[in-house]
Amino acid sequence: MIKLFSLKQQKKDEEGSARPGGSQKKASAAQLRITKDLNELNLPKTCNTEFPDPDDLLNFKLIICPDEGFYRGGRFVFSFKVGPNYPHEPPKVKCETAVYHPNIDLEGNVCLNILREDWKPVLTVNSIVYGLQYLFLEPNPEDPLNKEAADELQSNRRLFEQHVQRAMRGGYVGSSYFERCLK
Amino acid sequence: MAAGEAQQQPEHLQRRWHYIRKLLERPGPFSHPDFEPSAEILDFILNSCKILVVGAGGLGCELLKDLALMGFKKIHIVDMDTIELSNLNRQFLFRKNDIGSSKAKCAVEFVNKRIPGCEAIAHHCPIQDLDEGFYRQFHIVVCGLDSIVARRWLNGMLMSLLQYNDDGSLDQSSVIPLIDGGTEGFKGNARVILPGMSACIECTLDLYPPQKTFPLCTIANTPRLPEHCIEYVKVIQWSKENPWGPETSLDGDDPQHVAWVLEKAQERAMKHGIAGVNYRLTQGVLKNIIPAVASTNASIAACCATEVFKVATSCCANMNNYMVLNMTEGVYSYTFNAERRTDCIACSNSTKILEVEPQATLQAILDQLRDDQQFMMKSPGITTIINGRNKTLYMSSIKSIEERTRDNLKKKMKELGLFNGAEILVADITTPNTVTIKLKFIENLQDVDMSHYIE
Ligand SMILES: [Zn+2]
């Protein structure tokens, strides 16, 4: 432990005294961390990112084009919003493409454990990218958000596959309409 | 009391510093080794020591009162909030008439009136509105906040005020100790942070409990708790129905919004046979409220105020350095030494210096970061802050950003808005964190004495 204030040097600067170069705003911890995450982003070949504003690293889109599985040939866009409490809190991720998927509902909510209850500060944007990619390879009917799709995947795989195809080509599955999202 | 004594101070004021003097004017077994008892220390507390109290809520009211009664006079307090009815049970500096007024201002008015000589000053604004010049004036900052974001910001601010000597060692006169208190129900913690010297907020971010969340599929399909129903309306139903239009996001402070969520959550609870959805719980889930307990606040604030006193006077060694208090069953407390993380994003990030020619291009800087012995980076991504806005200078890892920042490589410092002393933020695989690098303009690189580089 140091003795911080010897009485001789107890006088502090008065408020507002400027120091050279001291006026530049400081980057937040969230900003520093996301810069690191993105500089080391190592995307699988099926994924790509888009930054509407390259100066804003906190808001971007991830595009996944699966090359195998039920969703092969589709193009799915996710929006990422990284908040000021990153990485204490996970980014907010939504699916902007309408998709017939057991773990993604029609509003674009995504049920992926690391986006909510299992998020940890050691995880990165890369972890989320791999998690999302995995959802397209292995949809998980045990954790359903779209219950109809989940039940179908479990009871009738072929019918599920047909419905996924129909949705990706553009059309109705049940009473829900899906925009075409084939590449 | 005789009438003739009216000129003199009343007896209780004459004896006011009696006990404090006993601590400061004689040594004790727990004194800091360098402690030199003297009457000047009391004078320092009364007339020089400047303290910033951050937050004028449950902890802030206690802290302000404790510190003012200890003799600290030059206290500033900052809080952006206004007083609400539900604060009055524990935020004892406020009265019913104060509802709607600034917490910081009311708290200051109260203590200045009540405690003779106290000269507290209020700042009714977010902490982010106050700049380096403001924070630098304080000897000690003590913080009673309920927000992790705000704590992290304050931590970052105090780190950025650190100055380093030419040999890379910390200039201890730039260290502003941060005493941080936090409470949640019957639990609390108090800690002493010496920026640049001991574990900081970011070093121990893992110790903060994550916000309570439920798996999305549970709240969507198999709700079992009343909280699940409220979360469902909050996370899913609100954006589906947008009751106030798509532009209006859910505001837990808006009674109409809370009422809407309550109604929908009750419908859902009914459907799934779940009991217990009420207004209070709805508000609690929406705002993530954990009930505040007055006695927890009082205990934690007392610990924090004592640590402030110890730092200011050295009459006793400080707590080392993190105390947890748990009063859920009996009273339990434990103090441990939270350790610094060598890869901490805030306190391991001592600013490095890069000497560059004023005419250098961004490409030249990039080459220097790759080739210079001090850095030896592989593929640095560079951003900066210009006029308060983030600016990405170059990042090769992301195709769309690389394409749009490639032109910057040819540009000179001035064209990019950089100046002598400007800071750039550099991320690279070779460093555990983004590092801050200060540009230092030199005329000719050949003349540089290598000993000026800072480790
Ligand atoms: Zn740290």
Judge whether A95 counts as a catalytic residue. Answer: no
Q: Which of B359, B346, B370, B420 is nearest to B198 (CA)?
A: B346
**pTM score:** 0.79
Look at residue B4 in the predicted model and tell me its pLDDT.
45
**Least confident stretch, A13-22, A125-134, B264-273:** A13-22
Q: What angle do CA A88, A77, B242 make, to 5 degrees?
A: 75
Among B131, B158, B434, pick the best mutation site for testing chain A contact (most A Cβ within 10 A).
B434
Look at residue B5 in the predicted model and tell me its pLDDT.
44
Dist CA B202 CA B156 (whole Å): 9
In terms of CA atoms, which chain B residue is nearest residue A117? B213
CA max distance for chain B: 87
State yes or no: pLDDT of B172 exceeds 90: no
What mean pLDDT is predicted for residues A104-120? 92
Look at residue B49 in the predicted model and tell me its pLDDT.
94
List the catalytic residue out of B49, B217, B229, B344: B217
- pLDDT, one tens digit per residue, over B261-278 is 999 999 999 999 999 999
CB contact under 8 A, B383 and A84: no
CB contact under 8 A, B317 and A1: yes
Q: How confident is the model at residue B401 (pLDDT cuts 50, 70, 90)?
A: very high
Task: State ipTM.
Answer: 0.85
Pair B160, B385: CB distance under 8 Å: no
HEC readout, chain A: CCCCCCHHHCCCCCCCCCCCCCCCCCCCHHHHHHHHHHHCCCCCCCEEEECCCCCCCCEEEEEECCCCCCCCCECEEEEEECCCCCCCCCCEEEECCCCCECCECCCCCECCHHHCCCCCCCCCHHHHHHHHHHHHHCCCCCCCCCHHHHHHHHHCHHHHHHHHHHHHHCEEECCEEECCCEC
- pLDDT, one tens digit per residue, over B93-135 is 999 999 999 999 999 999 999 999 999 999 999 998 998 889 9
- pLDDT, one tens digit per residue, over A38-66 is 999 999 999 999 999 999 999 999 999 99
- pLDDT, one tens digit per residue, over B245-266 is 888 888 888 889 999 999 999 9
State yes or no: pLDDT of A35 exceeds 80: yes
Chain A residues closer than 8 Å to B217 by CB = 103, 111, 143-145
CB contact under 8 A, A57 and B392: yes
**Residues 153-172 in B contacting A (C-alpha not used; CB under 8 Å):** 153, 155-157, 160, 172
Query: Residues near B103 by Cβ (< 8 Å), separated by ≥ 6?
Result: B56, B57, B60, B79, B81, B82, B83, B87, B91, B94, B124
Look at residue A6 in the predicted model and tell me its pLDDT.
56
Pair B182, B196: CB distance under 8 Å: no
What mean pLDDT is predicted for residues B293-319? 95
Chain A residues closer than 8 Å to B175 by CB = 4
